[in-house]
Amino acid sequence: MRINWFVREREECGMPATVHQISVSNGGVPKLPVRVARVSLEGLEGDWQNDRKHHGGPDRAVCLFPLSLIELLKAEGHPIAPGTIGENLTLGGVAPDEWANLGPGVRLRFAGGVQLEIVSYCNPCSNIRDSFKGLEFNRVKQDLHPGHSRLYARVRQEGTITTGETLAIESAE
């Protein structure tokens, strides 16, 4: 494994990637913030998906999205906020162009020991439509807007994640 160039560059500037918000729900959106979450192979404790055919399970255990894209979408007039499109972890310190470089095979190593591996892009569904002006939930569809999709990850190392925790992003060689 090697750490991606943007992670090294950010660390040198004193701007690490962080967990901005952890979000869970008993099903549906919005997912609500919690300060700490236990992470197992099935996902975050206290989180559930109503549609287990398309969401959840070991290869879709954790849904990720960056705060920078939430801010970009808000600037476009969308009423989006952390957790409203179903992401479990809203990541701070990751710019939109950096997020666009992430995809299947990339690993995230959290300071507390949790390790995730990105498996796939997360196709949006109509349940998140209220987070978008004109209900245009496809604004975060990878095929239509590359680099603006949520990402699904599997859990490689279980543990606990805390809001504010730093993480390193590594690419598979």
pTM score of the predicted model: 0.89
Question: Quick check: 1 pLDDT over 70?
Answer: no
Question: pLDDT at position 137, please?
Answer: 96
The tally of domains found in the chain comes to: 1
Q: Which pLDDT does position 15 carry in this prediction?
A: 76
Q: What is the pLDDT of residue 2?
A: 41
Residue type, 65: F
Tell me the CATH number at 98.
2.40.33.20
Q: What's the pLDDT band for 164 if we cut at 50, 70, 90?
A: very high
Average pLDDT of the segment spanning 96-107: 95
- Over 60: is that where the pLDDT of 157 sits? yes
In this predicted structure, what is the pLDDT of residue 33? 98
Q: For residue 89, what are the β-bridge partners?
A: 22, 64
Banded model confidence at residue 51, pLDDT cuts 50, 70, 90:
low
Structural domain boundaries, residue 157: 2-171
Which own/partner contact pairs does 21-26 have at CB distance under 8 Å and 24+ positions apart?
A: 21/67, 21/82, 21/83, 21/89, 21/90, 21/163, 22/88, 22/89, 22/161, 22/162, 22/163, 23/47, 23/82, 23/83, 23/87, 23/88, 23/89, 23/90, 24/88
